[in-house]
Chains A and B, each alone.
Chain A
């Protein structure tokens, strides 16, 4: 498809700019004036609408296709929460920071406050801040809080953060952004971070250990409380990556287990849309004695029930401009409020049921490295198919031809040829059965006609793309 710039016709105009009701001003001085107009496309509104409507049709999405992308929790985004999030479109955030301005924005401030309370109860933490703008941003904020804690105790020798080798790449990257060196602990044959190696890695220079629970294999680590205890004995804090929280709502609270800092992904667990790669939202929660290190400002409830914005002088400063991705937070608040206690418990129960169902139905044909009850997702390996020259990526591309978004492939890194499937609770048995049929069909083709899989996808606007060429050419904008 042509680029919008390639559809441009000189002199054609789109939307009309408002008419002026003031005199034209003298022009800007030459030294600070732009020399050439910005080379934006010149298209009519209908051309524009067709262009982006047709572009959108080149996407798979939750609303058009089953999207079992492991670790991403691609659940259905309810439409009423979309409407709810849009109600605050015209509210200027600076109003809240003006003297006396907080009284004008009580509605949105109440949502920030109440969402923080809801998330604190769901995760078992003392307080929550919604300021971080995505999961990785939450991780970095959380590690900054941990750094501030150690510093306040005069404990400045701690320079390491421990992560398991199966962790999300953001964990070590976030800790590094906060100034730490990374120690990676391998996975034991039983699928979790090796407990003995972890014990050996712990010393009084470790600031924190970061874990995902259930882990990236979709398994619940029964040693999780022990790991927290070992970390605490060594003076380190424990960080919970909430990417997999969808499995344990109402079942386990990270705070009860012994985690000190957590982040949650509102765009995963709490039903806000993924937007083609954001906006997300990554609130963090902390235990009681870490509250003072949370970023500024804080939204508080006064004794008269009204809400106010307060500076948080001991905190780590500001990590984003205002209160977080508010319109996303409002959607999550609406989601939690609408589902309520029983609804959220049902989310996890059905997510876990769906994942175990897919695991049970596929394990005859696909290698299951850890054959035990899984939580919200299951991880297969295409190792059997590799014997016929078929790789995880080939299965993934064949699924596209059959109308399914592929699972996550080649992650986690500690499973070769990984195929990570997370159906979420919002899919029906019938949809999953159709997916399972195609997965079994792919396994059959791997034995009988592997070429079919190598050629896939053939139904998409483009076939497999030359990524090496892209990296070499570095063509990242049109001339």
Chain B
């Protein structure tokens, strides 16, 4: 039942070798008064029954809804090779590569992953992955505290509110201060961000494209932060990196983000992966695993976990982070996704997202009473203002099979009529036109 292969004969022989009369005798070190008071679980089932149950549950998972929602997680196409290669049991049933000679597959793949992340973000050193986008932003904030030995982080209000919640929680325990700067419409309030930076500031955290879909130039902000020896942390959406200026180009010191859109299924919230990359001079402050290149005694190239003196298994409470298991397999998917598309395909994919969103923007903003809130450039998301409560409109459109977007009221009090709409390459012109027609219908009939 528990996939335990030993036969009664095996068990008898093993007990004889141990010198025990029964398996129960092996549990004798556990005092009777500590034994389980209850273990009330149903009997097991066969594979067939299990799959029947699981399929029943999977049938109720919103599969017939057309998603125009993002919020950091995106419905992108995944090339077939990603699933096939990541399903190799040699990858998914291995563990952290503690013994490099028999883990070169994982180690080389992670080295290639780190290279890919550096190239996407315009940075020089990446780790081997973090848990998700939100914890990646939080880890970047903690990293900035270590580098600057300061205790204040400025958090732009147009950063994903779910991520901001995680950052605030992480900082709270360390008695560090998070200063929140409200956005100006759909954009970061650059003037207020800049005037908030002082000599106590460890870092300013912004996002590109931001939660409203807007894309901004952060070069001046970077300069201002550097003038005060503070860092600029940019959270970015990796698919946008095919078209939008990278954190590196903007002058960021740390780039982070949610890696899900690179070849990881939606899967109701995970597993995904977070990425973090930085300038080479800050490499010793990175959290988590890092793979480095080296050679063996014959001069053959190989890969190992490196700079481990930063990590919890060596440094214990003085480690740069507590992270141990990360999201290796999800990072591998991200790598294979990027390599499948290649230099040209990745740019084309970003362009396609942009083109579709621009088309949707024009069609939806033309619906009677609907206005576009973003004043500047956007990538594949944008924010609409509706003539009615957006949460109500979204709920009515859900009944018609459309997830029209993420209503902003729950995250931004006062923005109850605002809606963030996401358009990936998977949405067709027909679906976009249909959303516009249904929106018109829900608003006006």
Contact = CB atoms under 8 A, between A and B. Distances in A.
A389 to B, nearest CB: 18
Contacts of B93: 61-63, 77, 273-274
B112 A321 contact: no
Central interface residue in A321, A350, A457, by most chain B CB within 10 Å: A321
A477 B340 contact: no
Interface in A297-346: 316-328, 330, 334, 336-346
A38 B217 contact: no
Interface string A52-86: 11011111111111010100101111101001101
Interface in A269-310: 273-281
6 contacts: A15-B79, A28-B215, A251-B30, A337-B45, A338-B50, A373-B20
Interface string B85-101: 10011111111111111
A379 interface: no
Interface stretch (B51-59, B193-201, B226-234, B435-443): B51-59
Interface in A101-136: 101, 104-108, 110-111, 118, 121-122, 124, 133-136
Contacts of B2: 339, 343-344, 346-347, 350, 425-426
Nearest to A167: B316
Interface string B102-120: 1111101101101111111
Interface in B322-348: 322-330, 332, 335-336, 338-348
Contacts of A153: none
A360 B18 contact: yes
A445 interface: no
A456 B75 CA distance: 47
A220 B29 contact: yes
A320 B132 contact: yes
Given A396-B99, A469-B294, 4 more contacts: A3-B115, A100-B399, A105-B60, A134-B326
Interface string B271-303: 101000000100100000111111111101111
Central interface residue in A22, A122, A181, A334, by most chain B CB within 10 Å: A22
Given A252-B34, A353-B14, A466 B166 contact: no
B366 interface: no
A98 B289 contact: no
B162 to A, nearest CB: 5
B261 interface: no
Q: Give the interface size bracket for A toward B.
A: 35 or more
B358 interface: yes
B373 interface: no
Nearest to B286: A476
Contacts of A177: 142, 170, 173-174, 321-322
Given A133-B270, A349-B23, A105 B62 contact: yes
A390 interface: no
A28 B244 contact: yes
Nearest to A75: B3
Given A104-B65, A107-B56, A461-B104, A17 B292 contact: no
Identify the 10 closest CB pairs spanning chains A and B, nearest first.
A340-B44, A322-B269, A275-B329, A279-B271, A93-B269, A25-B358, A107-B57, A277-B328, A63-B89, A173-B322
A97 B10 CA distance: 52
B192 to A, nearest CB: 20
Interface string A450-478: 00000001001111111101110111111
B91 A136 contact: no
Interface in A402-441: 405-406, 408, 411, 425-429
A17 B342 CA distance: 10
A137 interface: yes
B131 A133 contact: yes
Given A28-B377, A133-B132, A274-B94, A80 B306 contact: no
Given A61-B94, A89-B267, A277-B325, A253 B241 contact: no
B342 A21 contact: no
A476 B99 contact: no
B346 A37 contact: yes
A307 to B, nearest CB: 10
A426 B71 CA distance: 41
Interface in B365-386: 376-377, 379
Contacts of A356: 14, 18, 20, 26
Central interface residue in A29, A33, A356, A457, by most chain B CB within 10 Å: A356
A154 interface: no
B304 interface: yes
A48 interface: yes
B302 A40 contact: no
A242 B88 CA distance: 28
Contacts of A429: 6, 10, 13-14
Given A49-B84, A136-B312, A274-B93, A59 B111 contact: no
B69 A35 contact: no
Contacts of B44: 337-343
A139 B114 CA distance: 27
A425 B10 CA distance: 13
B114 to A, nearest CB: 5
B5 interface: yes
Contacts of B408: none
A49 B85 contact: yes
Given A35-B245, A61-B94, A467-B304, A316 B36 contact: no
Contacts of B216: 32
B17 A361 contact: yes
Contacts of B328: 275-279
Contacts of B289: 277
A139 B56 CA distance: 34
A21 B429 contact: yes
Nearest to A5: B115
B117 to A, nearest CB: 8
Interface string A1-40: 1011100100011111110111111101101111101111
Contact of B356 (A22, A122, A134): A22
Central interface residue in A276, A372, A463, by most chain B CB within 10 Å: A276
A178 interface: yes
B403 interface: yes
Nearest to A35: B249
Interface in A243-282: 248-253, 256-257, 267, 273-281
Nearest to B62: A104
A382 interface: no
A253 B271 contact: no
Given A60-B102, A318-B134, A318-B165, A328 B54 contact: no
B419 to A, nearest CB: 11
Nearest to B84: A49
A478 to B, nearest CB: 5
B348 A121 contact: no
B60 A134 contact: no
A317 B61 contact: no
B115 A478 contact: yes
A122 B173 CA distance: 30
A354 B15 CA distance: 10
A461 B15 CA distance: 39
A273 B28 CA distance: 31
A71 to B, nearest CB: 11
A256 B38 CA distance: 9
Contacts of A45: 81, 340
A89 B400 CA distance: 22
Contacts of A277: 95-97, 106, 128, 289, 325-326, 328
B270 A278 contact: no
B183 interface: no
B39 interface: yes
B95 A41 contact: no
Contact of B30 (A93, A220, A273, A425): A220
B355 interface: yes
A188 interface: no
